[in-house]
Chain A
Amino acid sequence: MLLIPCPWCGPRPENEFRHGGEAHVVRPVDPRCVSDAEWADFLYNRTNPKGIHAERWRHIHGCGRFFNCIRDTVTDRIVTTSK
């Protein structure tokens, strides 16, 4: 079980958290103005890196906040988290 440092609550066991997918996937400001391909890219395409990954977690059974997290997908080590 990972120990995840919540930016608000400090290190907490993984089961208090819910993974929120890749971070920094920006929803188009006006989705009407994007093409089908751009919209599909927003919906479905993710970087899925081997190594450093910027992702979101939510401390759903804690403070309830979403936060950003840098995790190494090879070692599962969490490099840092931020509000």
Chain B
Amino acid sequence: MTQPYRTASGGRILRDRPVHFSFDGKQFVGHQGDTLASALLAHGVHLVGRSFKYHRPRGIMSAGSEEPNALVTIDRGDGRVTPNQRATTVELYDGLTARAQNAWPSVRFDLGAVAGVLSPVLSAGFYYKTFMWPASFWQRVYEPAIRAAAGLGRAPAAPDPDRYLHHYAHCDVLVIGAGPAGLAAAAAATARGDRVILCDEQAEPGGSLLSRPDTRIDGLPASEWIAAALDDRMTVLTRTTAFGWYPDNMIALAERVTDHLARPNANLPRERLWLVRAKRVVIAAGAIERPAVFPGNDRPGIMLADAAATYLHRYGVLPGQRIVVSTSHDSAWRTAFALASAGSSIAAILDRRDAVDPALCEQARAAGIPVHIGTRITGTGGRRRVRFARIDTGPRIIRCDTVLMSDGWTPSVHLFSQSRGKLRFDPGSGTFLPGPSAAPEQSAGACAGIFDLAACLAEGHRAGGGDPRAFVVSGEFRFGTPVPPSPGRPHGKAFVDFQNDVSTKDLAIATGEGFRAIEHVKRYTTAGMATDQGKTANVNALATVAALTGQPIPEIGLTTFRPPYTPVSFGTFAGAARGDLFDPIRRTPIDDQDAVFEDVGNWKRAHYFPRPGETMHQAAARECRAVRDDLGLFDASTLGKIEVVGPDAAEFLNRMYTGDFARLEPGRCKYGLLLGEDGFIRDDGVIARLAPDRFHVTTTTGGAAGVLHQMEDYLQTEFPSSRVWLTSTTEQWAVIALQGPRAADALTPLLDGIDLTTMPHMSVREGQFAGVPTRLFRVSFTGELGFEINLPANYARAAWDLLRETGATRYGTETMHVLRAEKGFIVVGQETDGTVIPDDLGLSRTIARGKPDFVGKRSLSRSDMLRDDRKQLVGLLADVVLEEGAQLTDTGAVSLGHVTSAYHSVALNRPIALALLSGGRSRIGTKLHVPLSSGFVTVTVTDPTFYDPTGERMTQRIIGKPARTGSVAARRERMSQPITGSPARAGTVAAAVGQPALRLVVASYAPPPTPFCDGVNLTLAPTTGKFSIRTRQPIASTLCAATSDGHTALWLGPDEYLVFSDDPPRIAADSIVDVSHRTVGLRVNGPRAAWCLNAFCALDLDTIPETGCTRTLFGKAEIILWRLSESAFHIETARSFAPYIWALLEEARREFLPPPAVC
């Protein structure tokens, strides 16, 4: 296939590498190195799309990311459909399939073009004025119709099959733009020894130099100078757009990794979002050529003059055969001469200036090119391609197939403005330039208004930190003297914003209707609001509004520049946070897969355990009966746990919780309510005193982190002299609730060192369960005799399986909720909503009398807290299961409260509900009405305790039975299995009491198989004991690990260490808590280890020395990061986050695995 507009030689394309592609169903061939636009132009194809509003034929206007017209949809198959891609930036690859947009049936014959006929009524404000009444039509009629008629490409319907990653990077100097100024800056900074990242949106560095091959710098041809400026020590990112500037010099870059490849490696991310924290930034973003504003300036075949130079010099493509050049500065003249010598016929050069360099005129005359000075285009003609230009002097009509326009240059100040730098108006060029900086940045080159190559280089070099020096430049270069923008006149279809179809007429309507502020004009007309953010439009719009209103441009001001500089895909922003990796999925150590699970925060909790064919209600009913009549088994491991240690522990808890913990005996438990200072309930839980100076505090599942934070707040800031230390043990201890009349009988044979007959309700004992240490609580959230067996997490699954042998029925959270509601036990967050105080729930008895103070106490005596019409907890009896959240009313007019919990009670064989009801306790016995979707339901208000109101089932004494040593021994024999892993602390105490130990199998985190690769590999760290140590004696220096006496201590905070040691470390400390089961150690090894970590960790790993360690975030989970060597890291993660961390690491290292076979 011939390419009639391809020159015989020249350009940077690989002429021996043909590339086949299709556009709108038609096959074409281009060359490696082409863009879609240059390849289409090589075939003489200018018409590539229809405009947004009027469906006017549009062509290729530019050669870069500023392109407003040539938007296409790229279809890679398998759901990989990307709309609104600029043909000027789409790199050609073999098999590329592109489609025109906003045209039907085809881009050549588009029925939507009828909008062009209607254009006189479709002007600015048309929608606001026309589609007003009736309001009900806004969403149902007007919007769908308008959206169908106007618009860009269609969003793909299928899920995006590609992968995306983020990457946190740090550098001394980030250079944005790899043109001459940026390259000079990056080279100078690298020479100083700075860490440099150089990024450019194009496929290769060089910027404008790529379009000017004749240029020589310091005696080197441009391409050689570019190669010499690059340096292995720099990170050079091509196809990477710096699109957003965020606080403290964090710059977001979008790297397009695979879009230019015909058959990308599926292990590579499609795009990578770089989050670069730069000490300094050099902005070398260049300048964008401005279109001229004249009627009919949007026809295919009309393009920017410098774009034509780029197509000629970089791609070896002539834009047309007969070309009119309309300009206001010198560079377009040079483009005209170059095109003429390359074979195009230049029909005329028009220059709107009154005086032009005579040498240019002489050169034009020598080349036989007609010249019209002081002339501009007043109109064009042609249906699908420009056929003639009308001018205001001379011959009036000039036949042509191409018009090159240039009305000066607009410096790209987008990122400077995003950095909150102040723009200043430069009257000479008529544009805005960077003024005072607000961030450590410097603009260099054309974006700073410097249009001379030698000066750009010198300025870039200086901005990079180099000593002042001059560059010797020879050969042709594009920039001429900057000229002010020329306002468009409000007649004909003279487009200002091509992408949003905004013409000078629309701006005239806006100003005529009184809009003066440019931000208002922008919103009324949508000028500058398209996906190109007005890169080619804004300055012309300003100049036009200035002329229309008679104001000077600086008084009109400039619209705000916002990220992103160019469109960024949703996938890039999402990164790996999709599907199962969107959020951590936390599973308990028991995680019985026979359950149906429900989400509670990030946890997966067993909701119910259906037998085959059972519904949830059937399963829950069976589970409820089992607990009430026999024995139930429940995984309560998600409960939050905090170990409170120190001589002032009781006093501290007295200040935190409502109850009196100073008088709580060791071995006893107490229910505690935690309030905020405002008196409202924040959390609740059972608090056990293990020793005079040691408490085991439980919190709600969702409240664990918040309670610890609140306690730390008071401890660090209100009571800093308190000798108390807090350690989260949520994941150290798994909790199995054994509830039901048979609980004590079932449990007794499995215990050592604990005599249940001495355990009253609300007591705690430490001893052995099946040979492993346990903290056994006699507590009940069901109303039955019950225990909560706390076990080190790695033994929990084996213990669960062992307990199933007692014949206990497993139950889930649904049954737990029914049982507790029957007892009137509250759930924080269900019966409370942030406005509920203890008395509202009938829990005044939990408030210790005589305690002078605790958090929230003062607020409880505010007058509002004493009102007797406060909403109080009551029970409701109805004939149907009510809806949670339903309102309560007596007359039907006013809400008196709402239903907080509603279930079918199996024990009572009827629906029950809990509610918060105004003055509720005084309404017990009355009837109220509940409006449901099915109609009003009458309910009877009752006491909230429906079942066993005296609580004797729960509090009964456990009658001693003779120790059944024989059966225990038999069971022990059966259970006797080797312990896997270490430390082997299981069984040690049992051995001491002379009994053969039941031994539970250790089940720690078992990662999925992980293929080996050269870049980076994942392993589990060796198992060891782990201890949370609190001491003011430094045992490791700040942010470092230290090894001595057989243990390794990791500094976590000024008095906090994590110590790895097989035996309890002999360290004099304020608090030592065994957390061996709380976390999992992972190792990341290999030359790309740091790179992989930075996919999810925002720290500058270059600043972490060997032995350095710190807590930080990895994705959305907290980790302890410990550097073992240059290329090896240890990650300590909470047990339940380990699968998430592991999966993220696998995602990050996938690009280093061998590419999967392509089928």
* In contact, A1 and B712 (Cβ under 8 angstroms): no
Residues of A within 8 A of B859 (CB): 39, 43
* In contact, A36 and B862 (Cβ under 8 angstroms): yes
- The complex places the Cα of A8 from the Cα of B862 at a distance, in Å, of 40
* In contact, B1053 and A65 (Cβ under 8 angstroms): yes
- The complex places the Cα of A19 from the Cα of B713 at a distance, in Å, of 11
Chain A 46-66, CB within 8 Å of chain B: the 1/0 string?
Answer: 000000000010101111111
* In contact, A31 and B853 (Cβ under 8 angstroms): yes
* In contact, A62 and B1112 (Cβ under 8 angstroms): yes
Closest to A78 in B: B248
* In contact, B1112 and A1 (Cβ under 8 angstroms): no
Interface status of B709 (Cβ within 8 A of chain A): yes
Contact of B1056 among A27, A60, A63 (CB under 8 A): A63
Closest to A63 in B: B1053
Interface status of A9 (Cβ within 8 A of chain B): yes
B786 to chain A, nearest CB (A): 35
A6 to chain B, nearest CB (A): 10
* In contact, B1113 and A1 (Cβ under 8 angstroms): no
Residues of A within 8 A of B709 (CB): 18, 58, 60
Q: Is the interface of B mostly helix, strand, loop or mixed?
A: mixed
- The complex places the Cα of A66 from the Cα of B1113 at a distance, in Å, of 18
* In contact, A2 and B248 (Cβ under 8 angstroms): yes
Interface status of B357 (Cβ within 8 A of chain A): no
Residues of A within 8 A of B693 (CB): none
* In contact, A1 and B1053 (Cβ under 8 angstroms): no
A5 to chain B, nearest CB (A): 10
A19 to chain B, nearest CB (A): 11
Whether A61 touches B1113, Cβ cut-off 8 Å, given contacts A9-B1039, A31-B857, is: yes
A53 to chain B, nearest CB (A): 15
* In contact, A66 and B1111 (Cβ under 8 angstroms): no
Interface status of A73 (Cβ within 8 A of chain B): no
* In contact, A62 and B1111 (Cβ under 8 angstroms): yes
Chain A 6-29, CB within 8 Å of chain B: the 1/0 string?
Answer: 001100110110101000000110
Whether A32 touches B852, Cβ cut-off 8 Å, given contacts A8-B1053, A64-B1053, is: yes
- The complex places the Cα of A61 from the Cα of B858 at a distance, in Å, of 32
B1122 to chain A, nearest CB (A): 14
* In contact, A76 and B247 (Cβ under 8 angstroms): yes
* In contact, B1056 and A64 (Cβ under 8 angstroms): yes
Interface status of B677 (Cβ within 8 A of chain A): yes
* In contact, A58 and B246 (Cβ under 8 angstroms): no
B850 to chain A, nearest CB (A): 12
Contact of B712 among A2, A62, A64 (CB under 8 A): A64
Residues of B within 8 A of A34 (CB): 858
- The complex places the Cα of A15 from the Cα of B1118 at a distance, in Å, of 11
- The complex places the Cα of A1 from the Cα of B273 at a distance, in Å, of 14
* In contact, A1 and B717 (Cβ under 8 angstroms): no
A41 to chain B, nearest CB (A): 12
Closest to B250 in A: A1
- The complex places the Cα of A43 from the Cα of B676 at a distance, in Å, of 10
Residues of A within 8 A of B1053 (CB): 8, 62-65
- The complex places the Cα of A61 from the Cα of B717 at a distance, in Å, of 18
Query: Which of A12, A13, A28, A30 counts the most chain B CB atoms within 10 A?
Result: A13
Interface residue total, chain A, C-beta cutoff 8 A: 33
Interface status of B716 (Cβ within 8 A of chain A): yes
Residues of A within 8 A of B1038 (CB): 8-9
* In contact, A1 and B716 (Cβ under 8 angstroms): no
* In contact, A9 and B677 (Cβ under 8 angstroms): no
Chain B 1018-1043, CB within 8 Å of chain A: the 1/0 string?
Answer: 00000000000000000000110000
Interface status of A3 (Cβ within 8 A of chain B): yes
Contact of B1054 among A2, A36, A63 (CB under 8 A): A63
- The complex places the Cα of A39 from the Cα of B1054 at a distance, in Å, of 34
Residues of B within 8 A of A16 (CB): 1098, 1111-1113
* In contact, B1052 and A63 (Cβ under 8 angstroms): yes
Residues of A within 8 A of B862 (CB): 36, 39-40
Residues of B within 8 A of A43 (CB): 677-678, 859
- The complex places the Cα of A16 from the Cα of B718 at a distance, in Å, of 23
- The complex places the Cα of A30 from the Cα of B853 at a distance, in Å, of 8
* In contact, A1 and B246 (Cβ under 8 angstroms): yes
- The complex places the Cα of A8 from the Cα of B1113 at a distance, in Å, of 17
B759 to chain A, nearest CB (A): 36
Residues of A within 8 A of B246 (CB): 1
* In contact, A8 and B853 (Cβ under 8 angstroms): no
Chain B 1046-1072, CB within 8 Å of chain A: the 1/0 string?
Answer: 000000111010000000000000000
Interface status of B863 (Cβ within 8 A of chain A): yes
- The complex places the Cα of A40 from the Cα of B858 at a distance, in Å, of 10
- The complex places the Cα of A65 from the Cα of B1039 at a distance, in Å, of 14
A55 to chain B, nearest CB (A): 13
Residues of B within 8 A of A61 (CB): 1111-1113, 1118
Residues of B within 8 A of A58 (CB): 709, 712-713
B796 to chain A, nearest CB (A): 27
* In contact, A15 and B1113 (Cβ under 8 angstroms): yes
Closest to B1117 in A: A61
Chain B 414-458, CB within 8 Å of chain A: the 1/0 string?
Answer: 000000100000000000000000100000000000000000000
* In contact, B717 and A15 (Cβ under 8 angstroms): no
Residues of B within 8 A of A36 (CB): 862-863
Contact of B1098 among A1, A63, A66 (CB under 8 A): A1
* In contact, A65 and B716 (Cβ under 8 angstroms): yes
* In contact, A2 and B1113 (Cβ under 8 angstroms): no
Residues of A within 8 A of B863 (CB): 36
- The complex places the Cα of A16 from the Cα of B250 at a distance, in Å, of 16
A54 to chain B, nearest CB (A): 13
Residues of B within 8 A of A65 (CB): 716, 1053-1054
Residues of B within 8 A of A40 (CB): 862
Closest to A68 in B: B717
Residues of A within 8 A of B438 (CB): 75
Residues of A within 8 A of B248 (CB): 1-3
* In contact, A56 and B717 (Cβ under 8 angstroms): yes
- The complex places the Cα of A36 from the Cα of B1056 at a distance, in Å, of 39
- The complex places the Cα of A76 from the Cα of B439 at a distance, in Å, of 12
- The complex places the Cα of A76 from the Cα of B1053 at a distance, in Å, of 27
Closest to A44 in B: B678
Whether A27 touches B718, Cβ cut-off 8 Å, given contacts A43-B677, A62-B1112, A63-B1054, is: yes
Residues of B within 8 A of A76 (CB): 247
Contact of A20 among B249, B713, B1098, B1099 (CB under 8 A): B713
Query: Which of A15, A18, A40, A60 counts the most chain B CB atoms within 10 A?
Result: A60
Interface status of B1110 (Cβ within 8 A of chain A): yes
Closest to A8 in B: B1054
Residues of A within 8 A of B247 (CB): 1-3, 76
Residues of A within 8 A of B761 (CB): none
* In contact, B1099 and A13 (Cβ under 8 angstroms): yes
Closest to A39 in B: B858
* In contact, A32 and B1056 (Cβ under 8 angstroms): no
Residues of A within 8 A of B1130 (CB): none
Residues of A within 8 A of B1098 (CB): 1, 13, 15-16
* In contact, B858 and A12 (Cβ under 8 angstroms): no
* In contact, B858 and A32 (Cβ under 8 angstroms): yes
| Among all A-B residue pairs, the 7 with the closest Cβ atoms | A31-B858, A63-B1053, A3-B248, A13-B1098, A66-B716, A64-B1053, A61-B1118
Q: List 25 A-B contacts (CB under 8 A).
A: A1-B250, A1-B275, A1-B1098, A2-B247, A2-B248, A3-B247, A9-B1038, A12-B1099, A13-B1098, A16-B1113, A34-B858, A40-B862, A56-B717, A58-B709, A58-B712, A60-B709, A61-B1112, A61-B1113, A63-B1054, A64-B1053, A64-B1056, A64-B1111, A66-B712, A75-B420, A75-B438
Since A1-B247, A36-B862, A43-B677 are in contact, a sample of 17 more A-B pairs with Cβ atoms closer than 8 Å, ordered by chain A residue number, is A1-B246, A1-B1098, A3-B249, A3-B277, A8-B1038, A9-B1038, A9-B1039, A9-B1110, A15-B1098, A15-B1113, A39-B862, A56-B717, A61-B1118, A62-B1053, A63-B1054, A65-B1053, A76-B247
Chain A positions within 8 Å of B, measured between CB atoms, are 1-3, 8-9, 12-13, 15-16, 18, 20, 27-28, 30-32, 34, 36, 39-40, 42-43, 56, 58, 60-66, 75-76
